[in-house]
Chain A
Amino acid sequence: MIVLTGLVGVNYWATRPQLLTYPLFGLALLILLRWQKRDERWIWLLPVLALLWANLHGSFIILFFLLGPALLFGGGNRKKLLIVTLLSLAATCINRYGIELWKSMLSMVNSQSIRAFSVEWEPPTNEGWQANIFFALLLLIPVLTALLKPRVKLLYWIWFLGFGWMALSTSRYGVWFLPVEALVLGLILAPFFAEHLEGKNRFQNRAFNRLLGILLLLFPIALLPGIRSTWWEQAPPVYSDTTPTDATAWLEQNPQLPDNLWSDFAYSTYLAWALPERKLFMTNRFEDFPPEQFADNKHIANADGDWQALLDQYNINLLMPSIEKQPDLIDAAEASPAWREIYRDEQAVLFARTNPIHSEMDK
């Protein structure tokens, strides 16, 4: 189950704040499963989880999507769980913004810019092998349920419905659905596995198992960036090819070039950290920008009819398009007398305006 749902979840493993909350979700789920089996000792950890989660990532509301149905449909001590839920709610307010954090999180969910332009907020489609497995499981679960008639508690089905609906509505919620799906699928298939896979005396050598297990766990450390390149000639690079390290370093050495800078969206997120002295067109914080600015960004990136007018409007004097993603913009800038190429590598090109324009503030 873990391998299967883990494979579907590969897309969710990119380095980002959300990643820090995966263990919190896993732990919360485990605690509630134990609570469901009348082992209530650990539920008092949940407010601590809530406190951490609220200060790490906006997905802290997910904890309450687990707790709410458990309160209504769970089989453990509901009175204690109610107290824990209230304490967890209070704990989410212990943060820099207090209760405002809830408002901010809800406004993000409803943000027009996010809804219209953020790919991870779009509903999933059945494209690519991960999505194929995800949707195939959705078809398989009712069939297996009908044929095997497993005993799965109502709470788990409620979670399945709730997290399933979230996952079908927005790609980014798929990561929370997968553990629930694994749980339900595991319970459905448990009798089958018990009969056919488990219970046979395999791997009886205790010392060998321990040693091999530890080795398997240690091996990935050798694959860490910085370590893998010492022994692996063709090791994958530390940064993806969407990170313009060389172009950024060059730009840093040329502070005389006039602002403002327009860059490919992925580049901007790197530049926000690597070149803090330059203001960017936008960052990955979708909620900070109006939808019109995202539309303008798209027009500029595609070199649509009004690209030059938009660059004028935003007083852009520097362009950093990606060779892979913005070939039209590169062609357009090359063909335009208003721009001259000042730098090029395998990833990015830099153009400067022939006659820089100055904002009112500059003047």
Chain B
Amino acid sequence: MNQVDYSKGARSSYAGFLLLSLVLAVIFLIVVLMPLEPSDYWTYLRIGQEIARTRALPATEFMSYASHGGSAVYSYWLASLLFLGIYEAGGLPLTALVMGVCVVLFYIFVWLSLRELKIGPVAFALILLVTALMGSNNWSTRPQVFALPLFGLSLLLLVRWLNGRGRLLWALPLAAVLWVNLHGSFALLYVLLLSALIFGGGRRKTLLWITLLCLAASLLNPYGLRIWPNTFGMIGNDVISQFSSEWQPPVNVGWQMNLFFGSFLLVALVSAFTKERVKLIWWVWFIGFGWMALSSVRYDIWFSVIMALLLAQLCSPWLQQTLDRRPILPNRVFNLALGILIMAGTLVFLPGIRQNWWAQAPEDVTESTPVEAAAWLQGHPELPDNVWSNWVASIYMSYAVPERKVWMTNRIEDYDEQVLLDNKRLSRAAFGWQEILEKYNVNTLMLDRNYDSALLQSALASGAWQQVYQNDRSVILVSENK
């Protein structure tokens, strides 16, 4: 392969740095401008609080009445403590900043991997942008975001190992310890390692030792070896697959998914016409991560990176002849200054800061987060338990009103299928909704006018519920029989 090593030239003119900072700025802006989705966040703050308060991991479900007391595994304990620490130190602005940094770090590692593959600065900026956009559905504030840089780092180290430079691989056991205590996606490290061990072209003996060390490192967690069956149990859990949208297979709807599905067709076409030969391990990763991504939306982000690196290699001669034929942006000082300025400038878009200068700035949290209604409920402890609110609202309530047990949290694995079925029936006010509420001793309803309109109408029409609070989005009703 006759290629120019762009890494040196790009470093000298900082053209690559400027282009990278532009792309990273776009990524960071998207992350911090998205109002915080409650669905995978507030429950972790509550778990963090509980761990900090008791200085121990809870052994049972303690937040909800629909599954109270059932045994539970809190494998994301470190992510929970981190979220709590960040929130208590700097609220939502610091949380958004940390999330933005994690996502940006992930793509910096992808960028470094592209440099390892000798991709030019314009091409890598473009590839990085498209890859990031493809994965942008997975950037919401949640424990998985902590795992993104760890995946990026692991991939980079393996790419370097494939290129004959495996020195830094010894950092992987450390990444494994962190990862296993942060998020269940730690298993991906072993997917990368084992496939590299079998199909990779670097020094396998070193990699074998690293893999064994990483396996040992995965046991350094409060649950020890049990973490593995617990993780596989979640992957194979039919209830999770059925009721959690992120565990369902992707569908070709929306531009991010268009990019995702389009890439499968594109890679076939490119592989037919390119003269580039790509190492077998890339195709093994393509099949492995591709199958995972086609089976569950939550794996798309990992696959997007594999796909980007594969396509970049297949297209490298064309990219070199078109996008990176000539050096661009030769002014080193200008590039460096502008790059730093662009990245620093994104900080003013953080929640809590943007509202100071931007009249129509996006809200800090999504509209579905019942902030005011939860505060009102907290101010009225005389209202009877149990409180039923929809899934999203319950997740917020689990942290915001900890003195009340909530209906359920985002930890689907803690609930019987019947609870999830009942939840669905309640949300659409299916026949027998009153009996379901009675079954769970629900005496207060906190309803979202948009999501729970059927239940709201039915409750009001039944005459058995009295409205005690309302705002633009939420309504609180109390049972007349209580």
Query: Chain A residues in contact with chain B, CB under 8 A?
Result: 122-127, 135-136, 138-143, 145-147, 150, 152, 157, 160-161, 164-165, 168-169, 299, 302-307, 328-329, 331-332, 335
Contact = CB atoms under 8 A, between A and B. Distances in A.
Given A122-B251, A306-B457, A329-B431, 9 more contacts: A127-B249, A135-B294, A142-B264, A146-B278, A160-B265, A168-B261, A304-B428, A305-B428, A306-B454
B267 A142 contact: yes
Contacts of B430: 302-305, 328
Given A136-B291, A164-B265, A305-B455, A123 B428 contact: no
Contacts of A168: 252, 261, 264-265
Interface in B279-326: 283, 286-287, 290-291, 294-295, 314
Contact of B290 (A139, A165, A305): A139
Contact of A126 (B262, B272, B287, B294): B294
Instruction: List the 8 shortest-distance A-B pairs measured between CB atoms, nearest first.
Output: A305-B429, A305-B458, A332-B431, A303-B431, A125-B249, A146-B271, A123-B252, A142-B268
Contacts, number: 102
Nearest to B272: A145
13 contacts: A125-B251, A139-B264, A139-B291, A145-B272, A146-B278, A157-B268, A168-B261, A305-B454, A305-B458, A328-B432, A329-B431, A331-B432, A332-B431
Contacts of A306: 429, 454, 457-458
B56 interface: no
Contacts of A305: 428-430, 433, 454-455, 457-458, 461
Contacts of B262: 165
Nearest to A303: B431
A130 to B, nearest CB: 13
B359 interface: no
Q: Which of A123, A165, A169, A305 has the most CB of B within 10 A?
A: A305
Contacts of A299: 428
A269 to B, nearest CB: 25
Contacts of A143: 271, 283, 286-287
Contact of B431 (A126, A141, A146, A307): A307
A329 B425 CA distance: 13
A115 to B, nearest CB: 10
Given A305-B454, A328-B431, A152 B272 contact: yes
A161 B286 contact: no
B253 interface: yes
Contacts of B454: 304-306
Interface of B: 248-253, 261-262, 264-265, 267-272, 277-278, 283, 286-287, 290-291, 294-295, 314, 425, 428-433, 454-455, 457-458, 461
Contacts of A138: 264-265, 268, 294
Nearest to B251: A123
A299 B457 CA distance: 14
B294 A147 contact: no
Q: Is the interface of B mostly helix, strand, loop or mixed?
A: helix
Nearest to B296: A126
A141 B250 contact: no
B457 A126 contact: no
Contacts of A303: 430-431
B278 A165 contact: no
A135 B303 CA distance: 15
Given A125-B251, A142-B267, A335 B457 contact: no
A332 B291 CA distance: 43
A169 B255 CA distance: 12
B117 to A, nearest CB: 16
Contacts of B268: 138, 141-142, 145, 157, 160
B287 A139 contact: yes
Given A125-B248, A169-B252, A306-B457, A161 B291 contact: no
A165 B251 contact: no
A111 B412 CA distance: 36
A302 B433 CA distance: 12
B432 A304 contact: no
A126 B295 contact: yes
Contacts of A169: 252
Given A307-B431, A331-B431, A157 B269 contact: yes
B271 A145 contact: yes
Nearest to B425: A328
Nearest to A138: B264
A178 to B, nearest CB: 15
A83 B295 CA distance: 45
Contacts of B429: 304-306
Contacts of A140: 287
A335 B430 CA distance: 13
Contacts of B295: 126
Nearest to B283: A143
Contacts of A126: 249, 294-295
Given A126-B294, A135-B294, A139-B286, A161 B432 contact: no
Contacts of B290: 139
Nearest to B266: A161
A153 B294 CA distance: 28
Nearest to A333: B431
Contacts of A146: 271, 277-278, 283, 314
Contact of B269 (A123, A161, A329): A161
A124 B287 CA distance: 19
A165 B265 CA distance: 8
A177 B111 CA distance: 36
B119 to A, nearest CB: 18
Nearest to A135: B294
Nearest to B248: A125
Contacts of B431: 303-304, 307, 328-329, 331-332, 335
Contacts of B428: 299, 302, 304-305
A138 B248 CA distance: 19
Nearest to B295: A126
A146 B294 CA distance: 21
A138 B272 CA distance: 14
Contacts of B251: 122-125
Contacts of B249: 125-127
Q: Which of A125, A139, A146, A147 has the most CB of B within 10 A?
A: A146
Nearest to B280: A147
